[in-house]
Homo-oligomer: A and B are copies of this chain.
C-alpha cells in the first residue's frame, strides 16, 4: 500500500555510482517500454543490494536498447539482520518467496523433507518473485534463494550461532510470542514443513538440536504458507524492524 503513485524501482546486478551508465536487461527494457510506458529521460530508482538506492535517468538508445544513467544516491545501504526461511516446497511457494521478501527475509532455503510431494523446484522463478517483491516493498536488498537441500544436509550445514525456530504442527511448540519475547535479536531462521507435515523422525531430530526451538501457532491447522508469513510477521513485530516507532520515509 502506498499513499502516492508508486515510482518505478528496479533491482540491478551492476555496481551503482554517480555518472555510471548501465544497460537494462531485456526484461527490464520491456517492462519500462511496454508496461510502464516510460518517457525518455524519466527517472527510476535502482538498487543492487550493496550500494544503496540511486536515481537514474532512462535513456532509449533504440526501441529495444535501454540504458540507465545513474545520477544521485537516494538512500545509503542499510544492513538487515539475518532472517532465514527454510521451507519444505509446497504448491504455493512462489507466494512464500514473495511474502518472505516483503517480510524482510534474507535467505530462502528449500528443504526436501520425507513428505515433500513437489519434485520440481524452479529456484530461478522463486528468485524472480523475491526480487519483484523487494522492488515493490522498498527494500534495499533481495533475499537469496538457495538450492534445494535434503533435510539431513540442511541440518548438518546449519550455521553456527544461528537459532532455528521450527513450526511444530503436532502441538508441542512454545507459543510464538512467548518464545520470541524471551529471545533477543540474533541471526535466525524459521522452518515450515510440507503439506503432510514433518515425519516423526524429522520432529525428533529438530527437537534435539541445541540451536532449535519448537514453536506453535495456535489451535487451527495453518497451511504452510500461512504459517511462514505469520511467524515472520511475529518476529518482525517483536524483534525486528517493526519494533521501532520511526515511520518509514513517505514516498
| Chain A interface residues (CB < 8 Å from chain B) | 1-5, 99, 102-104, 136-139, 167, 169-178, 192-198, 216-224, 226-227, 229-231, 233-234, 236-238, 240-251
Contact = CB atoms under 8 A, between A and B. Distances in A.
B222 A169 contact: no
A134 to B, nearest CB: 9
Nearest to A192: B1
A170 B217 contact: no
Contacts of A247: 170-173, 216
A14 to B, nearest CB: 24
29 contacts: A1-B169, A1-B192, A1-B194, A1-B223, A1-B224, A2-B196, A2-B221, A3-B196, A3-B197, A4-B197, A5-B196, A103-B226, A136-B221, A137-B223, A170-B247, A175-B242, A175-B244, A177-B238, A177-B243, A216-B247, A217-B233, A217-B237, A219-B241, A220-B248, A229-B230, A230-B230, A230-B236, A230-B237, A231-B233
B218 A242 contact: yes
Contacts of A229: 99, 226, 229-230, 233
Contacts of A104: 218, 220
- How many copies of this chain does one complex carry? 2
Nearest to A199: B3
A173 B237 CA distance: 13
A203 to B, nearest CB: 9
A234 B2 CA distance: 22
Nearest to A241: B218
A177 B177 CA distance: 10
Given A102-B223, A230-B103, A218 B236 contact: yes
B197 A245 contact: no
Among all A-B residue pairs, the 8 with the closest Cβ atoms: A171-B247, A230-B233, A218-B242, A219-B248, A177-B237, A137-B220, A1-B169, A3-B197
